Chains A and B, each alone.
Chain A
Amino acid sequence: MSDRCRDLHRSDGTFGMSVIIIATQVGGGMHLHRVTKSGHYRSARYDIGEATDPASSPTNDTSSSHVKSALRMVCSSSVSIRMANSAVSSRGRRALVVEDNAIMRLVVRKLMKEQGIVLEEAENGKVAVESVKEGKSYDLILMDREMSVMDGHEATKQLRLLGVKTPIVALSSDSQQCDRDLFLRAGADEFVEKPLTKDKLAGILSKYGLQ
Chain B
Amino acid sequence: MEIGKLQRRYLDFTSTLFHEGFLDNQFTQLQQLQDESSPEFVLEVVTLFFEDSEKLLDELSRTLDQQAVDFKKVDAHVHQLKGSSASIGAQRVKNVCVAFRNFCEEMNQEGCLRCLRQVRNEYFLVKNKLETLFALEQQIVAAGGSVPMMW
Listed in ascending order, the chain A residues whose CB lies under 8 Å from chain B are 100-104, 106-107, 110-111, 114, 146, 148, 173, 194-195, 197-198
Listed in ascending order, the chain B residues whose CB lies under 8 Å from chain A are 25-26, 29-30, 32-33, 38, 41, 44-45, 48-49, 52, 76, 79-80, 82-84, 86-88
Residues of A within 8 A of B45 (CB): 103, 106-107
Q: Check A195–B26 contact: CB distance below 8 A.
A: yes
Interface pairs (13), CB distance under 8 Å? A100-B80, A101-B84, A103-B52, A103-B87, A104-B87, A107-B45, A107-B87, A110-B38, A111-B33, A146-B79, A173-B86, A195-B26, A198-B33
Q: Check B86–A194 contact: CB distance below 8 A.
A: yes
Residues of A within 8 A of B88 (CB): 103
Residues of B within 8 A of A102 (CB): 48, 52
**Given the complex of chains A and B, what is the CA–CA distance between A24 and B29 in angstroms?**
34
**Given the complex of chains A and B, what is the CA–CA distance between A103 and B27 in angstroms?**
13
Q: A103-B88, A173-B86 are in contact. List 11 more A-B contacts (CB 8 A).
A: A103-B45, A103-B52, A103-B83, A106-B87, A107-B29, A107-B30, A114-B33, A146-B79, A194-B83, A195-B26, A195-B86
Q: Check A198–B32 contact: CB distance below 8 A.
A: yes
Q: Check B29–A198 contact: CB distance below 8 A.
A: yes
Q: Taking the nearest CB of chain A, how far is it from the CB of B53, in angstroms?
A: 10
Closest to A197 in B: B29
**Given the complex of chains A and B, what is the CA–CA distance between A194 and B79 in angstroms?**
13
Q: Taking the nearest CB of chain B, how far is it from the CB of A112, in angstroms?
A: 11
| Contact A197 to B41, CB < 8 A, known contacts A102-B52, A106-B48, A114-B33 | no
Q: Taking the nearest CB of chain B, how far is it from the CB of A105, in angstroms?
A: 9
**Given the complex of chains A and B, what is the CA–CA distance between A79 and B63 in angstroms?**
59
Q: Check A195–B41 contact: CB distance below 8 A.
A: no
Residues of A within 8 A of B30 (CB): 107
Q: Check A173–B82 contact: CB distance below 8 A.
A: yes
Partner of B87, one of A101, A114, A146: A101
